[in-house]
Chains A and B, each alone.
Chain A
């Protein structure tokens, strides 16, 4: 049954949300999973959940702003499980400085911190993971980009630039490591409802979530399981001829021409009561 039996996977940001769902899915598919996260309690909870379901996982504290943490994370996976086959780079940290704003508004510190956790961390992850994967003769890296890496929302310079860079880095790593059997792909998720966003926002404004769902051609927003299913596929043998690809898992959001979409949403807003999300 397990398409990843005997394999080792690292999931950064694997405690909650997308990463949490990915960790559970890879474990359910047979992998030994290392959950690397800064949210220690939540990471331990997810490990327990995986073990209760019959899977195998451990957790480690890893801050993606720290080179030592990233190196230690890879070392731990190899020392605990003997090898490394899969790395899902999902964490984007909890920035301590302001990363929102246009080029005029965003502070330089926000740029530096945002780019460090969203792009440099992925470079360092690959730097340490690839030599380990090379020892097994194959491997698969999945970097979490975003629909924000394809199309831009206003006043988000750092996030949009970083997620665009993730797509470029993914392609670069794919051509660099393809010849040694390592595939590197990206995922561009649309709006994914996580534990945090359910508690923090959507429970309080369900009509707004309906409005969001209406923006998607499939008429729903995503779940962590949607992203986990796509990642499981990309890391499997079924995808062995797929590399350098940004797989868009967005219910069709980004294929819509903006001017028609805008009119459609304006009509929805007139016909339905809801509170604006921001």
Chain B
């Protein structure tokens, strides 16, 4: 079961949520994992948990809006373990100024645009810039970029996030054709609603609201961080060696539904069930 024995993986935003589960998944399958996160406390806690479970992981503070931090993150992985095989670019770090990032092209500030695009897109360019030369030395490697269903279809008043995630899908394709000939595959994941530690808190006390959300998914549940971690592990495995440039949707079928029918279905649900709007 150890698909990543002998390999070294970096997971940005690897402390909690999707990144947290991804770090644990790779470690459980034999990889040595560098958890890069701005939340050092949670990053160290996840690394400790991995170590306690018999895996190998370390934490490093990394703000993905900092060019130096991204370069140091790659250097640290290679200095510590001698190579780099997998880079999962999951951090998006806008959490701290989430409110400023919301808005249409009219309302959102230029500063919020610059900050948002820096962490959502530029960080992934820089991550690849430093990771690819290291992967070349092994004759191959895998990069997985976290896009979103928001990179494919748009929610209102979210220009920055939707533009950033759409760019991730494009960047993934570009990197796939640029580095494919050298044995480096680059894929994206488009997650639907994933119940991370943070989002679970948002739903606390509103179980009916979460049930309404679950009802919007053809599989009648929302996602878990492990759903994404498992998909990323597949993409980085030999089983996926002919898959590159692909945006893998892990969304329980959400985006396969025609909106006008879903709207009617959800309107009926709203009439038939009591719940607080999320």
Chain A residues with CB under 8 Å of chain B are 171, 174-175, 178-179, 181, 183, 190, 216-220, 222-223, 226, 229-230, 232-233, 237-245, 247-252, 255-256
Contacts and interface: CB of A to CB of B under 8 A. Distances in A.
Given A178-B220, A242-B248, A217 B181 contact: yes
Contact of A247 (B176, B192, B241, B246): B246
B243 to A, nearest CB: 5
A252 B241 CA distance: 11
Given A178-B252, A239-B230, A241-B252, A218 B180 contact: yes
Interface in B228-264: 230-231, 233-234, 237-246, 248-253, 255-257
B219 A229 contact: no
Contact of B253 (A178, A218, A248): A178
19 contacts: A174-B253, A175-B218, A217-B177, A218-B180, A220-B242, A229-B238, A229-B240, A239-B234, A241-B252, A242-B248, A242-B252, A243-B218, A243-B252, A243-B256, A244-B253, A244-B256, A249-B242, A251-B243, A255-B177
Q: Which 6 A-B pairs have the closest CB atoms?
A: A178-B218, A217-B180, A229-B239, A244-B256, A238-B230, A226-B242
Contacts of B55: none
Nearest to B223: A241
Contacts of A222: 242
- Pick from B173, B253, B255 the residue with the most CB of A within 10 Å: B253
Contacts of A244: 218, 249, 253, 255-256
B136 interface: no
A256 to B, nearest CB: 6
A247 B249 CA distance: 9
- Pick from A230, A239, A244 the residue with the most CB of B within 10 Å: A244
A242 B250 contact: yes
Contacts of B192: 241
Contacts of B220: 178-179
A222 B239 CA distance: 12
- Pick from A183, A217, A233, A237 the residue with the most CB of B within 10 Å: A217
B245 A252 contact: yes
Nearest to B257: A175
Nearest to B172: A255
Contacts of B185: 218
A232 B239 contact: yes
A271 to B, nearest CB: 16
Interface in B86-117: none
A217 B219 contact: no
Nearest to B237: A229
A111 to B, nearest CB: 27
